[in-house]
Structure 1
């Protein structure tokens, strides 16, 4: 059994789930799986994946897990009461070979948003671990340990980067549960205060680390269907987030419609209300410069704001970003696959994205076109028109 705890997921799943409970309890969601890595045959492992998902759906929150969540200042008591009754429904998930007959598999998740939101991260972790335990039966953990040691040495014991800090964001694409935990423990031991925590709630609880996360793309995507009108969906999402958390968990996600559309909506009110923003696609150096300039234009001191970088980071890139922006803002770095799946094998680039909410198409149109995922071309064209994204693509 790969997943032993419903806390073995990213914190932002719970923070978004609480918003769904309080503001959108009747919303209906549809998610789809995609493997972006070419020539990967997942079909032979479908039965194993199904069996792991079946076992996942037998899990319930333990009392000590609920107590841990209850101690978080932003988690409300009625949400804990709901989680005490919660379980994932296996009937919401369909897993089958793709009609393309090219080794791809289709995983569809359909049901009430409130009851399907926790599927994404554990299912991705399951697909990864099932794939690698079948294709790499004698893993080269020593190679992974050597690489991890080199990464720690790049950061630790060097006075010029002593305040450069990283966090683990690697649950969804980890090589295995066992390796993920070993990486976390070695980072905690080797980096000390330079290791700020993990997005994984289970390991944060188990090892006394800070759990990290606010919102993900699905939240702002869902607001395309839930808000008063499409053009205001990003503004609506930020306002509902602020209504729920009253200034807490103040890191805004910036790339659902690209940086230009984000800055158009992230006005002086949001600049002052939110603690910062997270980068997850496009050129991070350009993103940082544009955001700092935007803060200055909106009469905010960027040195008081947090810029979170989390897109395909490795430690050399972290250090380059640190050198560029140190002293100009507060910095945070979330490193994922490069920490939890760097043993010498090609990691799987797998995602599960919301594609519909309340029967309406929803989409992400980021500054990295390869990350876009929507099968309704008419809706994509409309979305680009509404947010002036076609012009942005031409300019860039």
Structure 2
């Protein structure tokens, strides 16, 4: 490897990978999936040297295992069960599941094939490796790191000064961080804020489980789109327009009233609301926004809770789509007193520099031999290899919406 190992702990992933991992272990351990990498930046090219380094970094990641200290930390998370912890004690990433090649529109092709139980765990470390390798090859890498740190210091100072009001916020930036050094520096800065100094803004924690453990802050995160896509579309007996119903009921089966922030936009929020009935809306402590206009979305969810006879002020609206502090401040003030408000902020914290950040994703594209797709509230955020399947899914969604089913 040209650089030091980038991922050096299997805790260096987002918390929701463990939350979903346990539910997958108990309910869908036999599901087979394909995941596909995509770079959305039009002007980014990965060189053969970058591809070679990414391959070696992923190979190094695949030598890791959980230590007993790490497993003990995970066992302290109240909803993780001993059976799953014992599975993790034996679990290893498998380099044979990866295909890493030069080629494609951006010069880099990555796919993983294997059980959902395995491949789900690869997404976040892979993206973190790709991101850091890309920036380390830039001649101005050190200047980017210095710029990111200076901007982080400025953000912390503005919170202390009360420039922004973020009632509860956490850091969600592992997958697109500039590098591990910058993300850790940000956690240091925000974890060190005195709540009394920042006029009711409160940094609760990070999705990065490794850094949450290291800095004694809360690990945060519940579910991602893959859970709804695979549980609702991977079983070929289900109508995919009912993906949310299948996935949310499976989540309740696993966790009851614990660990309950539901993701709304996998097959559009309007379709989600068809299945988010009074029982589910009561059991889940809140919902997460990840695409579409946040104000329209929040109003829609508040109206939905109200129609169900649930006081929206008892529920959390978690916003996580392309946020900065100014945008989060506007959202918080708009919804003040209407619901509990929280923010998960990614790239703006972990990769804010004078350079345009990479917009990279790795999404599940097949489950059990069948295409799966995400149709979000923002055009262009979906990803599927088969347009015919996307059209079929859209027709199924449209039918439900037209017939109020």
Check conservation: 1:218, 1:353, Cα contact below 8 A.
Answer: yes
1:33 shift after superposition: 0.2
Structure 2 counterpart of 1:367 = 377
Check conservation: 1:93, 1:109, Cα contact below 8 A.
Answer: yes
The within-5 A match list for 1:257-296 is: 257-296=267-306
Q: Secondary structure at the match of 1:146?
A: helix
Deviations 1:184-206 (A, max 9, x none): 10111135471110001000111
Please list every run of 5 or more consecutive structure 1 residues that lacks an aligned counterpart in the other structure.
none
Q: Distance in 1 between matches of 2:349 and 2:39?
A: 20
Please list every run of 5 or more consecutive structure 2 residues that lacks an aligned counterpart in the other structure.
196-200
Q: Distance in 1 between matches of 2:35 and 2:323?
A: 26
Check conservation: 2:164, 2:325, Cα contact below 8 A.
Answer: no
Is structure 2 residue 139 aligned with structure 1 residue 155? Answer: no
Q: Secondary structure at the match of 2:292?
A: coil
Check conservation: 1:341, 1:347, Cα contact below 8 A.
Answer: yes
TM-score, normalising length: structure 2: 0.93
Is structure 2 residue 135 aligned with structure 1 residue 127? Answer: no
Deviations 1:166-223 (A, max 9, x none): 1000000000011110111011113547111000100011110100000000000002
Q: Secondary structure at the match of 2:243?
A: helix
Structure 2 counterpart of 1:169 = 172
Q: Distance in 1 between matches of 2:401 and 2:309?
A: 28
Check conservation: 1:42, 1:103, Cα contact below 8 A.
Answer: yes
Q: Secondary structure at the match of 1:12?
A: helix
Check conservation: 1:227, 1:233, Cα contact below 8 A.
Answer: no
State the Cα RMSD in Å.
1.7
Q: Distance in 1 between matches of 2:18 and 2:32?
A: 17
Is structure 2 residue 112 aligned with structure 1 residue 104? Answer: no
The structure 1 segments of at least 4 consecutive aligned residues displaced by more than 4 Å after TM superposition are 389-392
The size of the alignment, in residue pairs, is 389
Deviations 1:65-109 (A, max 9, x none): 0000011110000101110000000000001122x4x44311000
The within-5 A match list for 1:116-265 is: 116-135=119-138, 136-158=140-162, 161=165, 164-190=167-193, 192=195, 194-223=202-231, 224-226=233-235, 228-230=237-239, 231-265=241-275
Change (3 A) 1:342 1:191: farther
Change (3 A) 1:227 1:203: farther
